[in-house]
Amino acid sequence: EVQLQASGGGLVQAGGSLRLSCAASGFTFDDYAMCWFRQAPGKEREGVSCIASSDGSTYYVHSVKGRFTISGDNAKNTVYLQMNSLKPEDTALYYCASARYSGRYLPSSLSEYDYWGQGTQVTVSS
């Protein structure tokens, strides 16, 4: 059974940092891409950052480039999202998700991801 357990959210002031973790089980980590999505109230869920640990491919949505860093630990089957210089507009429920990775391109859209963890809330105060 595929399970994704997200953690690490919280309340932080603007300019602060948080690190999200997503522990995965039930599948071979190397065969999958992992992605962080977020959804703010009244907005659509968007892809924030994705990684394929097998070859190091990464994706970042433009609004977080230079501030967020995604990484994976294959030994722990865990993906991390280090979020620095947080802004109030980063406030959202953050989800991790996984999808089979073909090695041809890194999926980053909602419909391409099959398995989802529960969300972890990130709130950035101004």
Q: pLDDT tens digits, residue range 52-65?
A: 988 999 999 999 99
Per-residue pLDDT averaged across 5-28, rounded?
Answer: 96
Torsion 111-115-121-123 (CA) sign: negative
Helical H segments across the chain, by residue range: none
User: Does residue 82 have a pLDDT over 90?
Assistant: yes
User: Does residue 28 have a pLDDT over 90?
Assistant: no
pLDDT (tens digit per residue) in 87-123: 999 999 999 999 999 888 899 899 999 999 999 999 9
Asked if residue 47 lies in contact with residue 61, where contact means CB atoms within 8 angstroms, the answer is yes
At 17, list the tokens: 């940092």
Per-residue pLDDT averaged across 59-78, rounded?
Answer: 96
Question: In this structure, how many other beta carbons lie within 10 angstroms of the beta carbon of residue 29?
Answer: 19
